[in-house]
Chain A
Amino acid sequence: MTVSHARVLGLTVLVLALIAVPYALPALGANFWVNIIAEILIWSLLAASVNLLLGYLGLLSFGQSLYFGFGMYGVALSINAWDVGFWSALAIGMAAASVMALIAGVLAVRLTWHYFAIITVVFSLIFYFAAMSMKWLTGGDDGVSFTPPPVMNLGGYKLLLTDPTAQYYVILGIVAGCFALMALIVNSPLGLSFKAIRENDRRAALIGINVYRTRLIAFVLAGALAGVSGALFAFFGRYASASYMFYHVSGEAVVWAIVGGASSLLGPLFGAGALIIFRELVSNAWEHYLIAVGVITILVVMFAPRGIAGSWNDLLHKAFMRRSQGADPNKPAAVIEEPR
């Protein structure tokens, strides 16, 4: 077995486990956890949007909740106003988030480091307060609720989100699709230019990459991911609320991405999964559980800076590399494939 075999095996197990959730968990008497896993899947997309910027371009955004909020309201408002179908509403949510990201990105990606982080927060705060005060449109804190349209209408048979199992699979399918697209992107020429900018933006410009435009493309893609996340969350909760545009939502996504492992594709899923499960287990018993989350985050940053996914990859390499190195003594120790 090689590292990539182990990876494929791990991914297969993960996918099968996620597919089994709506049947396996109720059989174990844990119905409640089906929705928790669905929620984890949704939030993992928001964490993935942080990861796309942080892990692949080296840009730390503390404002992804803005695009999450646009995704939510895109769905809720378009369904209430125009009675659009499920997929149209999803597309509108994603498009609204992307347009907002384009507008904010035109300014934000001129900056890097803490300046970038600050401007992303500022943007999200401006729109958070605007959304909170525009109650006639957004419902402010209370939000606006809506009735989700059927996902599909096959000759009289309606696939409805009111069926928890159907809802779970719809969410799983869309989230898996987003991760698959992201996998394609990070391994494409566009993705390689992202990584080149992350590694050395000066050299990136000197090989002819338009650094500004490339960062803007990534920022819009990240906004679209956050938008899909928000749209799904709106469908999941049947409402949209301005409170999800607050920066603590962005901050949580940053924590999930870092704990899960920035610059690894599935890291955000593991990070969101681990910390949301931790929250569900601990928060009822201990109201200050966030202190523990903080400690966990600090420990990860200090001792496993590549997060859960990075540590897992390192483990695989330790387990399988020795053999392959023995087979090929010419390979230097640092021969590794692009970390995923």
Chain B
Amino acid sequence: MEAMTTKQIDSIVVRFAGDSGDGMQLTGDRFTQESAVFGNDLATLPNFPAEIRAPQGTLAGVSSFQVQVAEHAVLTPGDAPDVLVAMNPAALRVNAGDVARGGTIIVDTQEFTARNLTKAGYRSNPVEDGSLADYIVHPIDMTSLTVAAVKEFGLGRKDAARAKNMFGLGLLSWMYGRPTESTEAFIRSRFANKPAIREANLAAFRAGWNYGETAEAFAVSYDVRPAPMKPGRYRNITGNTALAYGLMAAARSAGLELFLGAYPITPASDILHELSKHARFGVTTFQAEDEIAGACAAIGASYGGALGVTSTSGPGVCLKSEALGLAVSLELPLVVVDVQRGGPSTGLPTKTEQSDLLQALFGRNGEAPLPVIAPRSSADCFAAAVEAVEIAIRYRTPVMLLSDGYLANGSEPWQIPQPGDQPSIDPGFATEPNHETDDGARAFWPYKREPETLARPWAVPGTPGLEHRIGGIEKGDGHGNISYEPDNHDLMVRTRQAKVDRVTQVIGDTWVDDPDGDAELLVIGWGSTYGPVAEACTRLRKQGQSVAHAHLRALNPFPHDLGEVLRRYSRVVCPEMNLGQLSMLLRARYLVDVVGHNQVRGLPFQVAEIEDALLTHLQEVGR
């Protein structure tokens, strides 16, 4: 055996790609988990087709999972993979172009048959024809090596070959010195009831590791040391899971039952799945007959004193719009989760986009304002959900929580909250009459407001003496009876707006990162662009450039000082995965000449792309 060398590197980007049925998401997830346990910082990008099983071996059926692991803080899954594992020609064809020049490509040669090459649109075998000369290519017959390794467990060839993803994982785990215990434990528990398959997967995993150790081709392994992180307990978490946990944590803090009304829709269904597991924590999930019923049932639950939540993606928000208008008019707490995906219409169900911002703000009839909050990373979905619940309860209003497909499925380390981390939330149910009539009688006025927040009382059925009627029809100020009075309507419209504007009371100042203090250029983003924008800024600053970064968590209302922040800079650039929705809002509201940098490719921004764009702006502003 060759003497082994280990090279120190500070980060690595790995992409696993294969057919939808090849288990690439699982493989990527395990590699991620091994790295997390090892102590690296990381961020992931799963990317899969909308079709559950597109025809085997086709370009349409390629599924991939990318992860960046580093010894320093990372905010994105990385622009270009340093290593691509391609399980078939289609996976190679779809992904090879993204690999960094000089990067490593590992392919399963068994799958590179004439038929598969044709399916992928190759005229000749790229592994042999020199077209991958810019890369270090490792052609390995992973299928045969796997089948040989698991022979003793008596599986058919097909089942045996299925373990090849574990071979690939084992090989990569060796290359990067990942700890293997968590994956072995995972395989044991996942296949606890299928001993042959369990043993085969373990054997394939170890065979992959041993192959790396013995094959001469892999003379070097790499070491990415743990990243310095704040002391504490961590786990790796996806955005959808973090969001579900945030809703649960906030409902617990408020002592409320959590009721989710939802209709299955990509990429939001995992929130429904997650919450469905937690009846013991006071969660009720209702899989409704349609999107409308999901929202309406949640409104009914909130009316009864539970925390009503409805989760969906953009097309579902369209259907819920009328119900959301009702919630605005009823002034009841409600959280609406929109995990944005590519649109319009069915669009790109499994891909990410930020194009529902204007819909969230304005997609209802009439003047129907509601607060809008957007998490900035997968782990931040937890805190953003808590914040949305707090606002919904404090201001008696529906709140839109705008996540997206990238945050939903991507993952990163998350510091696990400790007991007492959550602020307690007071639902403040009304218990007695709140008004004295002219004749001195005590009465209950459902639309008499709390002066500071303008919130109305939350009086739930079952409370004696507070019987009242509410509805979507315009109500008289205070007493809440039907009113068609012109002045009253004007007052009510303005009051509902003023109430939402007062949410600035709890959202604080604009978050601005301007370490040099002399920047002329401000880049402003919202939602999931935080990662690539922040990394691009870090890179530019390392090159001696001054650039300020502002990030909005509240999209409605905007922080009170936002106009002042924008006016401090001579140029404001706003990167968005849409055609300029936030730019439009900022321009309209603050009369600042915000320049958009827009992309709608269904994928998150690459750091280099933003870095380049900002460099151009920096040159133009002369710094």
- The reply to whether chain A is a binding partner of chain B is no
Interface residues of chain B, those whose CB is within 8 Å of chain A, are none
